[in-house]
Amino acid sequence: MHGVHGLHHITAISGPAQENVDFYAGVLGMRLVKKSVNQDDPGTYHLFYADAEGHPGTDLTFFPWKQMAPPRIGHGLATEVALEIPPGSIDYWGTRLQKYAVRVEGVETRFGNRTIALTDPHGLRVALVEGADGSRRAFAPWNGSPVPPERQVRGLHGAQVWERDPEVTAAFLTGVLGFVRFGEENGWTRFGFPDSAGVVDLREAKDARRGAWGVGSVHHLAWRVADAGEQLAVREQIEQAGANATPVIDRFWFKSVYFKEPGGVLFEIATDGPGFAVDEDPAHLGEALVLPPWLETARDRIEAVLPPLTLPALTSH
User: Which of the ranges 95-103, 225-233, 261-269, 291-299 carries the binding residues for Zn ion, by CB under 5 A?
Assistant: 261-269
> Which residues are CB-neighbours of 207 under 8 A, at least 6 positions away?
none
Q: Do residues 187 and 163 make contact, with C-beta atoms less than 8 angstroms apart? A: no
268 forms part of the interface with Zn ion (CB under 5 A): yes
Q: Quick check: 222 binds Zn ion (CB under 5 A)?
A: yes
Shortest distance (Å) from residue 9 CB to Zn ion: 6
Among the candidate windows 49-57, 179-187, 214-222, 282-290, which touches Zn ion by CB under 5 A?
214-222
* Part in contact with Zn ion (CB under 5 A); list of ranges 86-94, 135-143, 186-194, 222-230: 222-230
CB of 284 to Zn ion, least distance (A): 23
Task: Pinpoint the alpha helices (H) of 132-209.
Answer: 166-176
For Zn ion, give the closer residue by CB, 84 or 268: 268
For the bound state, the minimum distance from the C-beta of residue 222 to Zn ion, rounded and expressed in Å, comes to: 4
Q: Does 59 bind Zn ion (CB under 5 A)?
A: no
Prior bond to 274 cis, omega within 30?
A: yes
Number of residues that bind Zn ion (CB under 5 A): 3
Strand ordering across the sheet containing 249-250? 31-38, 41-50, 59-64, 7-14, 218-225, 266-271, 255-260, 249-250
Nearest Cα residue to 10 out of 198, 178, 253:
198
Closer Cβ to Zn ion, 12 or 202, answer by number:
12
Give the helix ranges, DSSP H, for the chain.
Answer: 17-21, 90-99, 166-176, 228-240, 299-305
Query: Under the criterion CB under 5 A, does residue 44 sit at the interface with Zn ion?
Result: no
Does 11 contact Zn ion by CB under 5 A? yes
In the complex, which residues of this chain contact Zn ion (CB under 5 A)?
11, 222, 268
